A = this chain, B = another copy of it.
Amino acid sequence: MDINKILEQVKNGILSPEEAEKILKQLPYKDMGFARIDHHRKLRSGFGEVIFCEGKSDEHLIQIYKHFATENIDVLGTRATSKQYEVVLKEVSNIKYDPVSRILKLENENKLLQGLVAVCTGGTSDIPIAEEAAQVAEYFGSCVLRVYDIGIAGIHRLFSKIEEINTANCIVAVAGMEGALPGILAGMVDKPVIAVPTSIGYGANFKGVSALLTMLNSCAEGISVVNIDNGFGAGYLSTQINRLVINGGKK
């Protein structure tokens, strides 16, 4: 029973106000419109369905993808293994897998991409995380400019690309090891930079902690950080900003 049915019954004298009040407070919050905020957000924003594949059982995964395939709804899975792909493929033929980004996707064609998000990496080893960010941004509707391998070892390439990068509405900067790229970029552009530390490196890198700390301590302005290897989070957030800009905050 939803809220306006209850109110109708109050109006019609079927329910007393006291009874109605009691019922209203018993109702799950989602029935009272609270959850609708959440739901509306999904509908309004067009951020499609996403699942985290790592650690999910094969049966569970097949079930999920079959469901979305049947309903003809797009769905993007992150951190899928090639083995998971093979297992799901047997049941859902139009599934797509990218071994670099480890994204396992069911997606209708002809998606409209808008605005621009730049995804940059310090080195070539950071590309898997960058591709996760880039493909997530595309899945959510952003055009993506990829500029890879422009860290300290390739800093001259960065200089030749900086103007183009700055045409994006939001910049995702992915770097492992010393993690200096996001700070260098933020010092040269005037767009928000989302820094993604990667676990690339060894020794005193501590699986990405070194890069994470570098980014948090950047003295450049206009930079913020997500979790180590969190390409998905950066792809989502960059698109959120990109859309706000395109729509002038109207969405």
Chain A residues within CB distance 8 Å of chain B? 3-4, 7-8, 10-11, 13, 16-18, 20-21, 24-35, 37-38, 41, 44-45, 47, 55, 115, 122-123, 125, 151-153, 155-157, 159-163, 169, 177-180, 183-184, 186-192, 194, 197, 199, 201-230, 233-234, 236-237, 240-241, 244-246, 248-249, 251
A125 touches B187 (CB 8 A): no
Please report whether the interface of chain A is mostly helix, strand, loop or mixed according to DSSP. Answer: helix
Q: How far is the CB of A222 from chain B (nearest CB, A)?
A: 5
| Interchain CA distance A230-B111 in the complex, whole Å | 39
A159 to B26 Cα, complex, angstroms? 10
Q: How far is the CB of A213 from chain B (nearest CB, A)?
A: 4
The chain B residue sitting closest to A155, CB to CB, is: B187
The smallest C-beta distance from A173 to any residue of chain B, in angstroms, reads: 12
Q: How far is the CB of A140 from chain B (nearest CB, A)?
A: 10
**From residue A202, how far is it (CB to closest CB) to chain B in Å?**
6
Bound together, the chains give a CA A26 to CA B32 distance in angstroms of: 11
**A20-B7 in contact given A202-B229, A203-B230, A216-B210 (Cβ < 8 Å):** yes
Name A248's contact: one of B17, B186, B248 (CB within 8 Å). Answer: B248
In the complex, the answer to whether B180 meets A184 with C-beta atoms within 8 Å is yes
A-B contact pairs, 10 of them (CB 8 A): A10-B10, A24-B32, A25-B33, A28-B156, A29-B159, A37-B162, A152-B218, A152-B220, A178-B214, A224-B226
